[in-house]
Amino acid sequence: MQERTLDATIENIEAVTDFVNAQLEALDCPKKALRQIDIAIDELFGNIARYAYRPDVGPVAVRVEVTKAPLSVILTFIDRGVPFDPLQSEPPDLTSDAQSREPGGLGLYIVKYCMDEITYTRENGQNILRVKKSMA
């Protein structure tokens, strides 16, 4: 397991992506899975940066774990921001055209679709969000 803690800022999305991708390149991660993981990082870390500590900035720990049989990657985002369970968010309205839709929610919907497993817990004043992607 590798872990890195950064400030929850939009500017750090690239640093988180680089950190995770360095771990995945060592696994010879398939390109499709890598793109899906990058989308999840952008959305999840971006949401933490925008909303968790608003208007302040706080830390986010990002963990990368690799499991075998089947080969999978688990990303864990840990912050002490306001409680937010993304699994409880309403799905976006995909039946209406983009101009008339309420903004928001599409990114989380995509993450839920791309990842194989997503879990959320609130423990000791921390949001703990885990996403798992199989490399098989």
Number of domains within the chain: 1
Q: What angle do CA 11, 16, 22 make, to 5 degrees?
A: 140
- 71-130 pLDDT tens trace: 899 999 999 999 999 888 766 555 566 555 555 556 787 888 899 999 999 999 999 999
**C-alpha–C-alpha distance, residues 105 and 107, integer Å:** 6
Whether residue 60 contacts residue 71, with contact meaning beta carbons closer than 8 Å, is answered with no
> Whole domain around residue 55: which residue ranges?
2-134
Q: For 54-60, what is the mean pLDDT?
A: 94
**C-alpha–C-alpha distance, residues 3 and 77, integer Å:** 10
Whether residue 40 contacts residue 75, with contact meaning beta carbons closer than 8 Å, is answered with yes
Give me the CATH number covering residue 79: 3.30.565.10
**C-alpha–C-alpha distance, residues 34 and 15, integer Å:** 15
